[in-house]
């Protein structure tokens, strides 16, 4: 059994039926704690949130900077055992869409930078790390790690392009009210997934993509080139069309966006 040093402060009421919120004062990683709970068969919809995540991590083994008590850093446990392992990118899609809907409720035009970072303009406001446990051909459980920059007023200058909701709107956000609101949006998309409404999910994901229109710079194997997004394959690979008409598809880590250098 995995054990992580932590003290749970309390269980927070959740407005979404079947969901629970466990609030910890400090955790090394909410994903690690959520995995521990999933292995103990905690209820689906259990959210693990902390004021202080000391070793948060993101995609590409990156660390995640979050000022203590200022942001929404949590992990959600689900058991999508109706999905085949090859369909796991659908989990990424509905998670990203739920975050976009939540930010949209604050009049923020949030976009999904493939595969699942959330951007405001050219700035990153949310990181998502999804870890799936596969048994046989199906997903056993999924841990959805989400970090949203809510109230942080400044960031380390070594980080390329962060932004917080506060920096965008000038308003502070109640973290727990926000979490309830986000879980509402996630539950809506999760129910659509359960009801096999994949066409709606796929179309909405495409419509919310960052840089979905026009040609932009990308880099792959030390080659920088301009291309436009031509689609997303069912396995999550990004399809790009270059200016000369060549079409290629890329798995995560095979391609990167070339982003502008931005002051913050």
For the chain, domain boundaries: 8-207, 216-257
Please check whether residue 141 is in contact with residue 38, taking contact to mean a CB–CB distance below 8 angstroms: yes
Distance CA 9, CA 262 (A): 39
Q: Residue 60: pLDDT above 50? A: no
E strand map for 70-222: 72-78, 110-113, 117-120, 123-135, 138-148, 216-220
What average pLDDT does the chain have? 92
**Least trusted range by pLDDT, from 95-109, 154-168, 217-231:** 154-168
Mean pLDDT, residues 211-237 taken together: 96
Mean pLDDT, residues 87-103 taken together: 98
Distance CA 187, CA 159 (A): 32
Q: What is the tens place of the pLDDT at every residue in 124-170?
A: 999 999 999 999 999 999 999 999 999 999 998 777 799 999 999 99
Calculate ∠ Cα 222-224-226, nearest 5°: 155
β-sheet bridge partners, residue 127: 147
Q: Residue 208: pLDDT above 80? A: yes
Q: Residue 4: pLDDT above 70? A: no
What's the CATH fold of domain 216-257?
SH3 type barrels. (2.30.30)
CATH of the domain spanning 8-207: 3.30.930.10
């Amino acid at each position: 059994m995995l054990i992580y040093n932590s003290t749970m402060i309390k269980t927070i009421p959740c407005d979404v039926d079947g969901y629970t919120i466990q609030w910890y004062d400090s955790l090394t990683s909410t994903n690690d704690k959520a995995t521990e709970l999933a292995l103990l068969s905690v209820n689906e919809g259990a959210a693990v949130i902390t004021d202080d995540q000391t070793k948060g991590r993101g995609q590409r083994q990156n660390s995640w900077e979050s000022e203590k008590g200022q942001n929404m850093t949590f992990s959600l446990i689900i058991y999508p055992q109706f999905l085949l392992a090859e369909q796991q990118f659908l989990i990424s899609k509905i998670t990203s869409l739920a975050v976009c809907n939540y930010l949209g409720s604050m009049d923020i035009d949030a976009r999904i930078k493939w595969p699942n970072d959330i951007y405001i303009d050219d700035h990153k406001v949310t990181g998502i790390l999804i870890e799936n446990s596969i048994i046989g051909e199906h997903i056993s459980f999924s841990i959805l790690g989400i970090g949203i920059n809510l109230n942080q007023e400044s960031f380390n200058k070594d980080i390329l392009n962060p932004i917080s909701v506060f920096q965008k709107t000038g308003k502070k956000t109640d973290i727990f009210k926000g979490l309830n609101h986000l879980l509402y949006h996630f539950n809506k998309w999760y129910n659509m997934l359960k009801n096999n409404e994949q066409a709606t999910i796929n179309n909405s994901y495409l419509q919310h993509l960052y840089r979905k229109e026009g040609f932009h710079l990308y880099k792959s194997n030390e080659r920088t080139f301009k291309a436009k997004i031509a689609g997303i394959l069912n396995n999550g690979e990004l399809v790009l069309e270059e200016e000369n008409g060549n079409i290629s598809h890329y798995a995560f880590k095979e391609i990167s966006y070339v982003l502008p250098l931005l002051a913050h």
